[in-house]
Structure 1
Amino acid sequence: MDIAENAALVVVDVQQGFEDLGFWGRRNHPGADENIAALIDVWQASGRPVVFVRHDSVVPGSPLRPGQPGNGFKEYVEQRRGRGGGSAELLVTKSVNSAFHGTPDLGVRLRDAGISQVVLVGIQTNMCVETTARVGGNLGYDVVVVFDATYTFDVEGPFGWRRSADEAAQASAVTLHGGGFARVVRSQDVLAGTR
């Protein structure tokens, strides 16, 4: 695994509101949070930049709305914020699916810092992680999605079609990787390439 010395780890929406399984339903990848924490630790120890992305939902009733406890980062993420040094850390807030459409402008910040590779982790695999990967790929970034450091939930679509969290995540991974938007890898490969 070839991870650039200045690759940015983009931690997408690892927020307390996603713990509300009564709202979201069944999730997959029970070890994802441990993998996310390990990747943040390695990034910070190596001096690579970490971008923390927070979804400020505008949907009524969403546990991710500003002012709700669920809007905050999960405790293990909050404990790690600030450990990477001021210039090696960025907070991006958004109300849409792509971290590239938030505040401040992630693309501008990455270009100004000379960063061309982004490594994505977080929630949800087939929603904000996938959309960020697609936009990043379209913008010309070398995008790496760490599959087992993401998770999602069971989903229902049109015509009564339903997919389990595993099926939705796998479809996302196949589309991203097969479509050339991103390389989809496992955390052990990324950790081995950054130590």
Structure 2
Amino acid sequence: MEITEINENAALVVIDVQKGFDDEGFWGRRDNPEAEGNIAALIERWQETGRPVVFVRHDSPREGSPLQAGTVGNEFKDVVEERRGKGAGPELLVTKSVNSAFYGEPDLDAWLKGARVGQIVIVGIQTNMCNETTARMGGNLGYDVVFPIDAMHTFDLAGPFGWTRSAEELTRATAVSLHGGRFARVVTTEDVLKGAGAR
């Protein structure tokens, strides 16, 4: 098995792990109930090893959105909030109102380049939306993007022409597009934890 090499200063980018995504009536059925546990394990490994962690929050400007800025749904889930500020390494909060974490405040690309970070590990919600968009942009910007597919989740979705896809199908499509298209290396949480062992 190929070892996933994790740089000593690789940044963990934790995207939109917010309470509003627990609103099943709004979003529908999700996949991967293990996502939050895997996200927690990765945050803890990054904090133990002094690597940088970026927490990204989606501040929706839309009235009635479960992620609307200023509402309870906008807050980070406990799995993230309880771990913020606990690490030995640098930490950044990025807020955004679009899909890509690279279009937020402060400028994520500038912060990463300032810290000479060349590798990012993306986790969070949703697999095929903000995570995938951030991964594609990261790849385009020249980062080595690592995408532990089991440290994220998404929801069933309806599209055009009456087409629908389950959350699991969307997750596989994202994995194939990113990995096959060389935007990112799609791996597992276990792969990343092994590659990011204690320094």
Question: Which of 39, 44, 66 is the matching residue for 1:63?
Answer: 66
Question: Which of 183, 186, 189 is the matching residue for 1:187?
Answer: 189
SS of 1:114's partner is coil
CA distance in 1, matches of 2:119, 2:161: 38
SS of 1:2's partner is coil
* Aligned positions of 1:10-159 closer than 5 A: 10-85=13-88, 88-159=90-161
Corresponding residue for residue 5 of structure 2: 2
**Deviation sequence 1:96-128 (CA, Å, 0-9, x none):** 000000000000000000000000000000000
SS of 1:148's partner is coil
SS of 2:92's partner is strand
CA distance in 1, matches of 2:138, 2:68: 25
TM-score by length of 1: 0.98
CA distance in 2, matches of 1:3, 1:173: 19
* One-letter amino acid matched to 1:137: G
In the TM superposition, what is the alpha-carbon distance from 1:60 to its structure 2 partner? 2.4
In the TM superposition, what is the alpha-carbon distance from 1:59 to its structure 2 partner? 2.3
**Deviation sequence 1:116-162 (CA, Å, 0-9, x none):** 00000000000000000000000000001110001000000000100
Moved over 2 A (4+): none
SS of 1:100's partner is coil
TM-score by length of 2: 0.96
CA distance in 1, matches of 2:192, 2:79: 20
**Deviation sequence 1:159-192 (CA, Å, 0-9, x none):** 0100000001110111011111000000000011
Q: How many residue pairs align between the two structures?
A: 194
CA distance in 1, matches of 2:155, 2:117: 31
**Greater helix share, structure number:** 1
SS of 2:105's partner is coil
Identity of aligned residues (%): 66
SS of 1:177's partner is helix
SS of 1:18's partner is helix
Gapped regions of structure 1 (runs ≥ 5): none
CA distance in 2, matches of 1:126, 1:58: 21
Bigger shift: residues 171-180 or 57-66 = 57-66
Corresponding residue for residue 178 of structure 1: 180
CA RMSD of superposed structures (Å): 0.7
